[in-house]
Amino acid sequence: MTATTVAIWSVCVSTAFAQAPVLRWGADAEGGAPFVEADPDNPERLRGFDVEVAELLAKALGRTPVFVQAAFTALDQSVKRGDFDVAINGLEDSPAKRAELAVSVPYYQFREVLTVRAADAGRYRSLADLRGRKVATLGATLAWEILSEAQGTHGLEPVSYDDDVHPYEDLLLGRVDAVLLDNVLAERSMRRQPGLVTQPEAAAVGYYVVLMAPADVALRDQVNAELRAAMRDGRLEAIFRTWQVWNDDQPAMYARVLAGADSLLEAPGGGAPARPSTWDLTARYLPALLRAALITLVLSCAAMLLAVSLGAAIAVGRVYGRGWVRALLTTCVEVTRGTPVLLQLFVLYYGLAAVVRLPPFVAALLGLGLNYAAYESEIYRAALEAVPKGQLEAARTLGFSTWQTLRLVRGPLAFRYALAPMTNDFVALLKDSSLVSVLTVVELTKQTQIFAANLGTWALPGALCAAMYLALSWPLARLAARLERRWAAPAA
Amino acid sequence: MTPVLGVQGLELARGTREILRGVDLSVHGGELVALMGLSGSGKTTVLRAIAGIETFGGGHIEVDGLVLDGSARHVGDLHRKVGMVFQFHCLWDHLTAVENICLAPVHVYGTPAGEATTRARALLAELGVGHREQALPRELSGGEAQRVAIARALAADPRLLLMDEPTASLDPARRGELGNTLRQLTAKGRSLLLTCHDDDFVRDFATRVVVLADGRVVEEGDPAVVLSTPAHEATRRLLDLKGPAA
């Protein structure tokens, strides 16, 4: 809701200033403080250090800042296609971004820090202590890369989240044993949730940068000049002090930038890191993509099995049940169909966590299965009611009980009518399964997103991902088409 | 001799509309009785009430010693006494001809599958469609589907066979074949009650005709007599309707 208000506000602002030169800056207001958030006192206003950095740059460039809302994971692609001039949202510098976009000098240095429950502070001091343990972070980030590597070296299990609040909540709940994220986020969560401790040693160092479209080299140079000027005269320091994120790392970083360094990224052996070639990265990510495709397939098949069984039971209840059974089932179906599956997933996984702590895969399976059961039940109910009355009366005159008629005549006939819409639903479910990434399940779409973030482009990962979804759904569609032909066309 | 079917004072209403207003009817062993009447006279409803798929408000029906009083009582035992062939056959589309016939014996009567199949094949052969046992309903012609439906209705070996408009979709040659088949069935002691609009068929094959009008039996007797010299206005109208112009 906040994001919507902000988006409407920004449209109004952009209209009002249509004639003045503007600096359209993109960020995700859902990311929250201290980066960008809607002011709790006046939700139509934005606040955060990135808001102030954007205002600083706009003012220095003689432009009016205009905020454009965009999803955090799509900011780099949005700026590339020209949705706004600059993306400023605690965006990490990376070789992939430098290969695909115009990237400013760093304006903030952050540390990737490990946060654990206070009781575990002595046990889990670094990633090396977390063998066999679950460690949470945001997917498609530097921290995710570090955890993916540590999976091989230290045997820990990385868990991917779509936001930076739930990792810490799940840490307190015991679903994960540590969180690796930027110190800015770690400090914020520790202020919000007591009982957490952040280890002093950093797993890595990273930098926030401003992103621009690759052709905007002139704008990048202006932005660099203004950032350096603001480092020199203390304006940047003032902003970060206001937001209580100023620390000793920053002056040292500023000194290097002011000495002329455009990028502070370093390869493990020293020197500027080269982005691995597209083919190297593809080869590296392909096994993970295939594993994610398998997760998507297994999850979709299991969820569909649940949806079909439960949907059939609901349909039978609605066709044969007493009045109160029908009313109850109709209500369940309408509530399930009338609310977003994403919300249901959240309720199952996070909402019920105080009562029952479902593992992510089980919550995903239940969420998708229950949601689709509502849709399936409507298909089966319609199919059961479409079976000609005469066929049922024929069964009755031959002595079949109601249950036998359902099992031997009505059910099998209804199944034929339901096949086409069922296949359609299964293909839809296969794709809807991408929603479960909000429950930390790394399925095909999420893995593609991680791959794309590392590659700096969606083209190849997107094509691979599409090909895999197609490879999963195509055989099923063919099988259904063949069955339909066998049942429908006269063979004589 | 006790009739196989005895219907007395059968009354049936749908809402405020009276469909049957006291129908009396009987069918004896080996008889082929044709129930005639204008559309809406209640012929099919009589058949459905006897088959137990229509409840009735008054009177009673006795089939081979089993008495129905309009409630659900005894309806469950009816399938061993009465077989029903629907106008549009109502074969189950997902099963082959032989499976259509075996389904009730195997699942309802507990006949072993092998035995049920042997008997189904014999019935199909007897009705002249033995070569179509593996065909699905949609692959059968109208006449073939009708014979499979007859075989299915005879699977429990009922003494009474009901047929709703069996001649409706048959050409004259097929009508003759059907008549001969039904004769063979009655020759073996089965009783048949069928609804029919075709007075030629009734004249040629029925042993007795019962004319229904406004939910009552208005005339009955030897088809040769009733259909040649109809005593009741309804019978005359019935015959005139398909008169020279038809």
Across the interface, whether the CB atoms of A394 and B103 are under 8 A apart is answered: no
* B90: its two tokens: 């109502």
Given A390, A399, A490, which is nearest B104 (Cβ)?
A: A399
A217 or A355: which leads in pLDDT = A217
| Nearest CA-CA partner of A418 in A335, A341, A308, A326 | A308
pLDDT in tens, A262-285: 888 876 666 666 767 888 888 888
* A443: its two tokens: 């399925």
Across the interface, whether the CB atoms of A492 and B90 are under 8 A apart is answered: no
**Over pLDDT 70: what percentage of chain A?**
93
Identify whether residues A344 and A440 lie together within a single domain: yes
Instruction: Compute the distance between CA of residue A264 and CA of residue A257 in angstroms, rounded to an integer.
Output: 8
In a mutagenesis test of the A interface, which of B66, B82, B91, B108 is the best target, namely the one with the most A β-carbons within 10 Å?
A: B108
Phi first, then psi, for residue B10 (nearest 5°) are -70, 120
**Over pLDDT 90: what percentage of chain B?**
59
pLDDT in tens, A217-233: 999 999 999 999 999 99
Instruction: Verify cis geometry, omega within 30 degrees of 0, for the bond prior to A43.
Output: no
Question: b or e along B132-152 (b: 16 or more beta carbons within 10 Å of the residue's beta carbon)?
Answer: bbebbbeebeebbbbbbbbbb
Beta bridge partners of A66: A24
Per-residue confidence band for A17, with pLDDT thresholds at 50, 70 and 90: very low
Q: Find the helix or strand (DSSP H, E) in which A99 lies.
A: helix A95-100
Task: Compute the nearest-CA separation of B230 from chain A (Å).
Answer: 34
Pairing assessment for the beta strands A86-92 and A22-27 based on DSSP bridges: parallel
A235 close to B (CB below 8 A):
no
Q: What is the CA radius of gyration of chain B?
A: 18
Task: Compute the nearest-CA separation of A160 from chain B (Å).
Answer: 48
Identify whether residues A386 and A399 lie together within a single domain: yes
pLDDT over threshold 50, residue B138 = yes
Identify whether residues A296 and A336 lie together within a single domain: yes
Amino acid sitting at position B56: F
* A425: its two tokens: 């639903």
Task: Compute the nearest-CA separation of B85 from chain A (Å).
Answer: 8
Across the interface, whether the CB atoms of A393 and B86 are under 8 A apart is answered: yes
Task: Compute the nearest-CA separation of B99 from chain A (Å).
Answer: 11
Identify whether residues A373 and A321 lie together within a single domain: yes
Query: Residue B101's closest chain A neighbor by CA?
Result: A398
Counting Cα atoms < 13 Å in the Cβ hemisphere of A333 gives 24
**Over pLDDT 70: what percentage of chain B?**
96
* A470: its two tokens: 């197609």
Domain termination site, one of A272, A291, A308: A272
> If you average pLDDT over residues A118-129, what whole number do you get?
93
Instruction: Compute the distance between CA of residue B82 and CA of residue A445 in angstroms, rounded to an integer.
Output: 61
pLDDT over threshold 50, residue B90 = yes
> Which segment of A46-50, A262-266, B129-133 scores lowest on mean pLDDT?
A262-266
Question: How high is the pLDDT of residue A268?
Answer: 62
Amino acid sitting at position A410: R
In a mutagenesis test of the A interface, which of B94, B100, B103, B106 is the best target, namely the one with the most A β-carbons within 10 Å?
A: B94
Domain of residue A125: give its range: 109-206
A264 or A387: which leads in pLDDT = A387
Set of chain B residues whose Cβ sits within 8 Å of the Cβ of A395: 92, 104
Cβ-proximal residues to A444 (8 Å cutoff; 6+ apart), any chain: A289, A292, A293, A295, A296, A433, A434, A465, A468, A469
Instruction: Compute the distance between CA of residue B51 and CA of residue B81 in angstroms, rounded to an integer.
Output: 9
Could you tell me the residue ranges of all domains in chain B? Answer: 1-81+160-246, 89-157
pLDDT over threshold 70, residue A470 = yes
Set of chain B residues whose Cβ sits within 8 Å of the Cβ of A391: 90, 92-93
pLDDT over threshold 80, residue B197 = yes
Query: Residue B150's closest chain A neighbor by CA?
Result: A394
Across the interface, whether the CB atoms of B152 and A487 are under 8 A apart is answered: no
* B205: its two tokens: 């094959």
Reduced to 3 states (helix: H, G, I; strand: E, B; else coil), residue B185 is helix
pLDDT in tens, B205-217: 999 999 999 899 9
Residue with tokens 């506000």: A9
pLDDT over threshold 60, residue A78 = yes
Per-residue confidence band for A39, with pLDDT thresholds at 50, 70 and 90: confident
Task: Compute the nearest-CA separation of A410 from chain B (Å).
Answer: 9
Q: Find the helix or strand (DSSP H, E) in which A414 lies.
A: helix A411-432
Question: How high is the pLDDT of residue A359?
Answer: 87
Taking CA atoms, B161 is separated from A391, B29, B124, in Å, by 18, 11, 16
Identify whether residues A263 and A136 lie together within a single domain: no
Set of chain B residues whose Cβ sits within 8 Å of the Cβ of A487: 94
Q: Which long-range contacts (CB under 8 A, 24 or more apart) does A147-155 make?
A: A147/A180, A154/A127, A154/A128, A154/A130, A155/A131
Query: Residue B54's closest chain A neighbor by CA?
Result: A393
> If you average pLDDT over residues B169-185, what whole number do you get?
88
Which spans in A105-216 are helix H? 142-154, 166-173, 183-192
Reduced to 3 states (helix: H, G, I; strand: E, B; else coil), residue A70 is coil
> What one-character-per-residue DSSP string does A238-302 give?
HHHHHTT---THHHHHHHHHHTT-S-----TTSSPPPPPPHHHHHHHHHHHHHHHHHHHHHHHHH
In a mutagenesis test of the B interface, which of A391, A397, A419 is the best target, namely the one with the most B β-carbons within 10 Å?
A: A397
Task: Compute the nearest-CA separation of B63 from chain A (Å).
Answer: 14
pLDDT over threshold 70, residue B10 = yes
Q: Which CATH number fits domain B1-81+160-246: 2.70.98.10, 3.40.50.2300, 3.90.650.10, 3.40.50.300?
A: 3.40.50.300
Reduced to 3 states (helix: H, G, I; strand: E, B; else coil), residue A235 is helix
> If you average pLDDT over residues B127-140, what whole number do you get?
92
Counting Cα atoms < 13 Å in the Cβ hemisphere of A12 gives 8
Domain termination site, one of A206, A226, A249: A206
> What one-character-per-residue DSSP string does B208-220 give?
EEEEEETTEEEEE
Query: Residue B151's closest chain A neighbor by CA?
Result: A398
Amino acid sitting at position A462: G
State the average pLDDT for chain B: 89
In the sheet that B17-27 helps form, which strands lie side by side, from edge to edge? B17-27, B5-14, B58-63, B66-68
Chain length of chain A: 492
**Over pLDDT 90: what percentage of chain A?**
61
Taking CA atoms, B53 is separated from A450, B70, B83, B232, in Å, by 63, 10, 12, 30
Pairing assessment for the beta strands B160-164 and B82-85 based on DSSP bridges: parallel
Set of chain A residues whose Cβ sits within 8 Å of the Cβ of B53: 393, 396-397
Across the interface, whether the CB atoms of B93 and A416 are under 8 A apart is answered: yes
Identify whether residues A213 and A301 lie together within a single domain: no
Identify whether residues A202 and A214 lie together within a single domain: no
Identify whether residues A242 and A221 lie together within a single domain: yes
ipTM confidence score: 0.91
Identify whether residues A336 and A262 lie together within a single domain: no
Count of beta carbons in the 10 Å neighbourhood of residue A343: 12
> Which segment of A118-127, B68-77, B118-127, B214-223 scores lowest on mean pLDDT?
B68-77
**How many domains does one find in chain A?**
3
Q: What is the largest CA-CA distance in chain A?
A: 95
Question: How high is the pLDDT of residue A491?
Answer: 42
Amino acid sitting at position A405: T
Instruction: Compute the distance between CA of residue A454 and CA of residue A452 in angstroms, rounded to an integer.
Output: 5
Identify whether residues A292 and A230 lie together within a single domain: no
Identify whether residues A338 and A241 lie together within a single domain: no
Query: Residue B88's closest chain A neighbor by CA?
Result: A390
Set of chain A residues whose Cβ sits within 8 Å of the Cβ of B52: 396-397
Question: How high is the pLDDT of residue B195?
Answer: 94
Given A394, A399, A412, which is nearest B90 (Cβ)?
A: A394
Question: How high is the pLDDT of residue A442?
Answer: 85
CATH of the domain at A90: 3.40.190.10
A486 close to B (CB below 8 A):
no
Rounded to 5°, angle at Cα A116 from A115 and A118: 125
pTM of the entire predicted model: 0.78
pLDDT over threshold 80, residue B199 = yes
CA distance from start to end of chain B = 41
Rounded to 5°, angle at Cα B188 from B147 and A392: 40
Across the interface, whether the CB atoms of B79 and A399 are under 8 A apart is answered: yes
* A360: its two tokens: 């992510």
A398 close to B (CB below 8 A):
yes
pLDDT in tens, A440-463: 888 898 889 888 877 777 888 999
Question: How high is the pLDDT of residue A454?
Answer: 76
State the average pLDDT for chain A: 89
> What one-character-per-residue DSSP string does A292-359 give?
HHHHHHHHHHHHHHHHHHHHHHHHHHHHHS-HHHHHHHHHHHHHHHHS-HHHHHHIIIIITTTT----
Instruction: Compute the distance between CA of residue A160 and CA of residue A166 in angstroms, rounded to an integer.
Output: 10
* B186: its two tokens: 């009655």
Taking CA atoms, B59 is separated from A148, B25, B71, in Å, by 83, 11, 11
Q: Find the helix or strand (DSSP H, E) in which A421 lies.
A: helix A411-432
